[in-house]
């Protein structure tokens, strides 16, 4: 079971409701039973679930939709609002000079999150550096150093040094010119006295502006208790939930931390270093319910183009040829899994097999285009030639059928784009689209 099951089951329950001819008390109660089952399976606390569905029932039956809004749309909006309230508040990061202390137990994804967070702030124009203060886990130094290099952020650590005070002191000197300094700390299997004392020593020396607890979403509602324990022992500003893309218990972790009055600050939603974002409950619930998120899509595309080291003109559809198409494929690869991209379009229910086939096809197309000559990439008409097709297939390790399939899809894309260019409604909606 993966995280999409939560969204899939919620969407099915809403679809069943919206296809019902009459919405009465019986219909609402049956719908609530589906919601209860879905949320409890996602490890949301039973008390929270019952409270939520009771509010849905009361609002749906005791209030009337505003003028011009159908009963079905009104109830969908009630469900949306209640789910948003269940998972917490939006977090808006401060883009200013600051020190951030990351803490957490073994297996939470803390080290990877250090690099992700540093990269996030650096992409916002704030030079970032990481101090490796995990002196207990074997290979922690090497892992964080490698991740920092991949994220293109500064790194400081003292290999085999066990004095955390010394590491922090030297790290602050080394990274003094960096607006953002992130300190990655050691973990344990539980919050014991040893870990608590070590974190207090680091906190005193590092003097952080923010203390963020990293928790894996797959522990579900236990996240709330863990957040409370760390908050009582060390004091935290909020949590970062990792593995939100692959955990069926993400909803449980979010609701539990919210119930414990601890804010979720960031969520990690993939393995790549760019897969971290400030927590936005509207985006999260919207994604579960299949609501398109165009603003997020635009931000993702913009960041992907930067990640791929492309200029805007490199992906300009006005100059659509195999060069620009290849660059678009590179940018798409930086946007994360195709399933995540489709969710931003509101197309969350595309069959998994179809998504995997499409991903395989796009990978194959990149290899085929890489085997073309510069002239062929610039002018696709040159490829109306069997000898060229045979050469490209051989050079790319694919078949002639694969190459012809790419040409066919490319020509369909060109035709579709030309139709959109001449569409008056499109020009009216997007004045710059011509």
Question: Structural domains in the chain?
Answer: 3-87 (1.20.120.140), 98-288 (3.40.50.300), 294-429 (1.10.260.30)
Predicted local distance difference test score (pLDDT) of residue 349: 54
Give the pair of three-digit tokens for residue 240.
């970062």
Which pLDDT score, from 0 to 100, does residue 193 have?
A: 93
| Helix, strand, or coil (residue 239) | strand
Q: How far is CA 336 from CA 132, 227, 347, in A?
A: 27, 29, 15
Instruction: Let me know: does 391 contact 370? Beta carbons within 8 Å.
Output: no
Tens digit of each residue's pLDDT, the chain (434 residues): 344 478 888 888 888 887 777 778 888 999 999 999 999 999 999 999 999 999 999 998 888 888 877 777 888 889 999 999 999 999 999 999 999 999 999 999 999 999 999 999 999 999 999 999 999 888 999 999 999 999 999 999 999 999 999 999 999 999 999 999 999 999 999 999 999 999 999 999 999 999 999 999 999 999 999 999 999 999 999 999 999 887 788 999 999 999 999 999 999 988 889 889 999 998 888 888 876 555 555 566 666 666 666 666 655 556 678 888 887 777 777 766 666 665 655 555 555 666 567 778 888 888 999 999 999 988 888 998 999 999 999 999 999 999 998 888 888 777 766 665 555 554 444 444 44
CA 266/CA 117 separation, integer angstroms? 9
What pLDDT does 382 receive? Answer: 92
Task: Provide the pLDDT for residue 430.
Answer: 41
Q: What pLDDT score was predicted for residue 3?
A: 41
Question: Which pLDDT score is estimated for 354?
Answer: 63
CA distance readout (Å), 105 to 108, 116, 264, 398 = 6, 18, 17, 47
Averaged pLDDT score across all residues of the chain: 85
Per residue in 127-164, pLDDT (tens digit) is: 999 999 999 888 999 999 999 999 999 999 999 999 99
**Whether 178 contacts 129, CB under 8 Å:** yes
Residue with tokens 């906190």: 203
pLDDT in tens, 25-54: 888 999 999 999 999 999 999 999 999 999
Q: In what order do the strands lie in the sheet with 276-278?
A: 154-156, 128-133, 180-185, 98-103, 210-216, 238-242, 264-268, 276-278
Residue 229, CA distances (Å) to 206, 226, 323 in order? 21, 5, 54
pTM over 0.85: no
Contact by Cβ (8 Å): 231, 193: no
pLDDT for residue 4: 45
């Amino acid at each position: 079971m993966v995280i999409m099951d939560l969204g899939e089951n919620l969407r099915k329950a809403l679809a069943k409701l919206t296809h019902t001819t009459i919405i009465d008390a019986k219909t609402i109660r049956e719908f609530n039973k589906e919601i209860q089952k879905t949320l409890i399976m996602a490890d949301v606390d039973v008390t929270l679930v019952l409270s939520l569905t009771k509010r849905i029932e009361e609002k749906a039956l005791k209030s009337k939709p505003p003028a011009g809004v159908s009963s079905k749309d009104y109830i969908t909006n009630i469900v949306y609002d209640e789910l948003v309230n269940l998972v917490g508040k939006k977090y808006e990061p401060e883009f200013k000079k600051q020190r951030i202390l990351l803490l957490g137990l073994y297996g939470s994804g803390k080290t990877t999150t250090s690099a992700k967070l540093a990269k996030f702030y650096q992409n916002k124009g704030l030079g970032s550096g990481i101090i490796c203060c995990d002196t207990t886990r074997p290979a922690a130094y090497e892992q964080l150093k490698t991740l920092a290099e991949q994220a293109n952020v500064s790194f400081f650590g003292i290999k085999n040094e066990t004095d955390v005070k010394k590491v922090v002191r030297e790290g602050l000197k080394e990274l003094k010119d960096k607006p953002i300094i992130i300190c990655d700390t050691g973990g344990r299997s539980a919050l014991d006295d040893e870990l608590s004392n070590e974190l207090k020593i680091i906190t005193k020396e590092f003097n952080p502006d923010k203390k963020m607890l990293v928790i894996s979403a797959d522990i579900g509602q236990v996240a709330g208790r863990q957040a409370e324990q760390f908050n009582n022992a060390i004091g935290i500003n909020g949590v970062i939930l990792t593995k939100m893309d692959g955990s069926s218990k993400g909803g449980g972790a979010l609701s539990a931390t919210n119930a414990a009055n601890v804010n979720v600050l960031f969520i990690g939603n993939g393995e790549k270093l760019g897969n971290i974002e400030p927590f936005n409950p509207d985006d999260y619930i919207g994604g579960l319910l299949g609501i398109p998120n165009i603003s997020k899509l635009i931000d993702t595309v913009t960041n992907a183009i930067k990640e791929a080291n492309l200029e805007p003109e490199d992906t300009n559809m006005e100059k659509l040829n195999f060069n620009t198409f290849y660059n678009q494929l590179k940018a798409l690869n930086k946007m994360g899994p195709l399933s995540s991209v489709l969710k931003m379009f509101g197309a969350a229910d595309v069959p998994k097999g179809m998504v995997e086939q499409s991903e395989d096809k796009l990978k194959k197309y990149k290899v085929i285009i890489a085997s073309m000559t510069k002239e062929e990439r610039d002018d696709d008409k040159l490829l109306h030639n069997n000898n060229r097709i045979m050469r490209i297939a051989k050079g790319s390790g694919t078949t002639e059928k694969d190459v012809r399939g790419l040409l066919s899809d490319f020509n369909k894309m060109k035709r579709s784009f030309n139709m959109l260019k001449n569409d008056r409604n499109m020009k009216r909606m997007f004045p710059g689209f011509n």
